[in-house]
Amino acid sequence: MNRMRLDGRVAVIVGGAGHIGSAIADALAEMGATVAIADREAAGAARVASSVSETRQRLSSWHEIDLEGELSATALRDAVLREHGRIDILVHAAALVGSSELPGWTTPFEEQSLQTWRRGLEINLTSVFSLSQAFAPSLREHRSGAIVTIGSIYGELGVDLRMYESTGMGSPAAYAASKGGVVQLTRWLATVLAPDIRANTVSPGGVMRGQPEAFISQYTSRVPLGRLASEDDITGAVAFLVSDAASYITGQNLLVDGGWTSW
């Protein structure tokens, strides 16, 4: 039996219209899962669901979600259960990231706004709590539930602002704080939800997004493998952690960073 197969399982991908989320959805569908794509961009979620259905010949659905809405987690759970009858996997890949164009976000620290800080924590961290809480009974039902959250190297280490010199880019305090919170919350979930649900984090390093050449050069000079990550690098880690091949792994933070944190 192939322990990487997900036949008969339903995976919910929150942030599934984004670069990483859509790649994860495609990978899990290739492994045999039914996928439910949830995103605040309804049109994007619909496109990903349609693409997955056509490419992988797997049942999929799409759902609009407001991660700042108090009832969004339970509404999403109920919609997926109506559509597919069960939930086995929750992947939380939604976040306000360093490139998000919000006032007071990627500005110098003294100019970062409290309002945007609160939005960052609400979307990046609080929604992990609310979704995990709402989905836990369904994930527990078949005694093989899996939660995977997407962290960041900046949830483990302080920011090196030298990477951003002459790039026009920045690093929000709320991003680092929220991702550190995601890692610790996931560890907490791993102990509280065991033995029926496993919970792990995948923490990427920098992912290639057409960044300025100055950033790519400065960043890769610190990476032992000499490049930024691709979506495939992230999806492979997620696919492993939600599968039975990782059935004895929980509470871990898998750093997919090309060796950045090894120096």
**Location of structure tokens 């899996």:** 146
| Distance spanning both ends of the chain, measured CA to CA | 39
Pairing assessment for the beta strands 145-150 and 253-256 based on DSSP bridges: unpaired
User: What's the CA gap between 128 and 120, in Å, rounded?
Assistant: 12
What values do phi and psi take at 36, rounded to 5? Answer: -115, 120
Burial 208-226 (b: 16+ CB within 10 A, else e): eeebeeebbebbbebbeee
User: What's the CA gap between 224 and 105, in Å, rounded?
Assistant: 30
Would you call 248 a catalytic residue per the annotation?
no
Other beta carbons within 10 angstroms of residue 245's beta carbon come to 14
Half-sphere exposure at residue 8, Cβ-oriented, CA atoms within 13 angstroms: 3
Catalytic member of 154, 175, 219, 248: 175
User: What's the CA gap between 213 and 223, in Å, rounded?
Assistant: 15
Those residues with Cβ within 8 angstroms of residue 71's Cβ, 6 or more apart along the chain or in another chain: none
What residues act catalytically?
A: 175
